[in-house]
Amino acid sequence: MQYTHLGRSGLLVSRLCLGTMNFGPQTDEATSHSIMDSALDAGINFFDTANVYGGHGHRGLTEEIVGRWFAKGGERRERVVLATKLYGTMTDLPNESKLSALNIRRALDASLKRLQTDYIDIYQFHHIDRNTPWDEIWQAIDVAVQQGKILYSGSSNFAGWHIAQAQEAAARRNYTGLISEQSIYNLLTRDVELEVIPAAQQYGLGLIPWSPLHGGLLGGVLKKERDGVRRTEGRAAETLKNHQAQIQEYEDLVDELGQEPGEVALSWLLHRPGVAAPIVGPRTQEQLDSALRALDISLEETTLKRLDGIFPGRKTAPEDYAW
């Protein structure tokens, strides 16, 4: 396994992050535990979850599954860099969502209980809260750090200027601020190259891409549809329709390379500047094994240029749209 510092921090994380969103809604608990064991055995030490994961009928279920896995012992908790998130609505009661000091305190304690641990390595803001000032957020986080309940903070789904705002507010308090940002980033969706990645690099945040296969559309979807293995519906079907020519050209290139589409898409992210660890969210052991194989793929410069030709990227703003 390869490891890297997460942003400017001294924290070492594996180049793949195990996402747990499917644990509970899509993958039963026994299989989820088996996947976590396999990931840990393979050297993945970075696990990501969120308080809302588990589905509308049982928000928090995923954290509970991870907590029961930790409770098995065997130094599972000690070997994992654990990241969870808050922001989403947990109940219909007021103050049970977003980033108020009150919700930070309550949501953190609830996550600690579900996860059966006394601290979170990286406590992440799942979305920007436009109604809570950063002085309030950082004061609440500072209290949690002093209590030993969290070690680091991270963001998710932030714009570039949100990162700047958060870091400047933290600097005024002589506080560390954010060390990571989770954003959607893949060959099909490269908007973060405009401002988010430059801001993250400027302020020392490691990028943690989510949806690296764009919901499976970069995982060989056309071949799977022809073979009757997959049927694409809803928004994914609309996206596939709009990008079918690109995706076909991509699958043809991957065939030429003698690789698997999903593994090349992951490998491409590992070649991108600023990327710390793409999040992989396996529903099965086979999907985890496929993700691990991406670590061994080295893409030549000519291949990277061909991928840029199929899926054009974005220049850093403002040069992307101005002089």
- Positions marked catalytic: 53
User: Are the beta carbons of 118 and 82 closer than 8 angstroms?
Assistant: no
**Phi and psi angles of residue 200, each rounded to the nearest 5 degrees, phi first:** -60, -40
Strands 12-14 and 279-280, by their bridges, are: unpaired
Which amino acid makes up residue 119? Y
**Upper half-sphere CA count for residue 302 (Cβ side, 13 Å):** 2
User: Computed from CA positions of residues 60, 62, 68, 74, in that sequence, does the dihedral angle turn out positive or negative?
Assistant: negative
- Would you call 277 helix, strand, or coil by DSSP? coil
Please report which residue ranges of the chain form alpha helices under DSSP H. Answer: 29-41, 61-70, 101-115, 134-146, 160-172, 196-203, 221-226, 234-242, 244-257, 261-270, 285-293, 301-310
Neighbour-count burial of 205, counting CB atoms closer than 10 A to its CB (0-12 exposed, 13-18 middle, 19+ buried): buried
What whole-number distance in Å separates Cα of residue 281 and Cα of residue 62? 12
* Site of tokens 């060989």: 220
Neighbour-count burial of 139, counting CB atoms closer than 10 A to its CB (0-12 exposed, 13-18 middle, 19+ buried): middle
